Amino acid sequence: MPANESEQVDITRLILEIREERAAQKAKEKADSWTKYVSLLVVFFAVATGIGALRAGSHSSRTVLRQAQASDQWAYYQAKGIKGRISELELHQATDEAKVKKLTDDVARYKAEQTEAADTAKRLEAERDEAARHSGPLGNGIAALQIAIALGSICILTKKKLLFSASAALGFAGVGLVVYGLFFV
């Protein structure tokens, strides 16, 4: 019977050890439950970064495109000015009435085309400037979000709540900048 009693004591000790391990595990899980919020926040910041980067790319492309189009219009403007000047020089040398009429019409047409090209170039430059205004806040917001994601990831690994606070503060500042860059610039 003592052997049986010994087995019962061993079983009781084993059960107590298992209970203690489970209790310790539950206490650890409860203590680390805040890291779930860090993970969710990192996902939120990653989505905000993706949206911001996509829109920033769109604004950047529009800026470059409008600049190229404006440059083309200014080149067209200069070409029309050169053609107009050549027509003026020919007009001063022309003696035939039909030739004078044609050259006078050409000079007027080139001036009108030049004015139209300048107006188009100025409109394109305004569109370029509008698209470029978004890049500052969006770029800064995306950078802040990327740093917040990195801090959040390190926070999950090290279990340092101070990093969670820093990540959250920087991330929400980044979200604010992205929203500002998208809707209020």
pLDDT in tens, 62-110: 999 999 999 999 999 999 999 999 999 999 999 999 999 999 999 999 9
Mean of the per-residue pLDDT values for the chain?
93
Q: How far apart are CA 54 and CA 84, in angstroms?
A: 45
Instruction: Classify residue 148 as exposed, middle or buried by CB count within 10 Å of its CB (0-12, 13-18, 19+).
Output: buried
Instruction: Classify residue 158 as exposed, middle or buried by CB count within 10 Å of its CB (0-12, 13-18, 19+).
Output: exposed
- Mean pLDDT for 44-72 is 97
Q: Which amino acid is at 11?
A: I
What pLDDT score was predicted for residue 103?
A: 95
Task: Tell whether pTM > 0.85.
Answer: no
- Mean pLDDT for 104-118 is 97
Q: Is the dihedral of CA 140, 143, 47, 151 positive or negative?
A: negative
Q: Domain limits of the chain?
A: 35-183
Inform me whether the pLDDT recorded for 165 exceeds 60.
yes
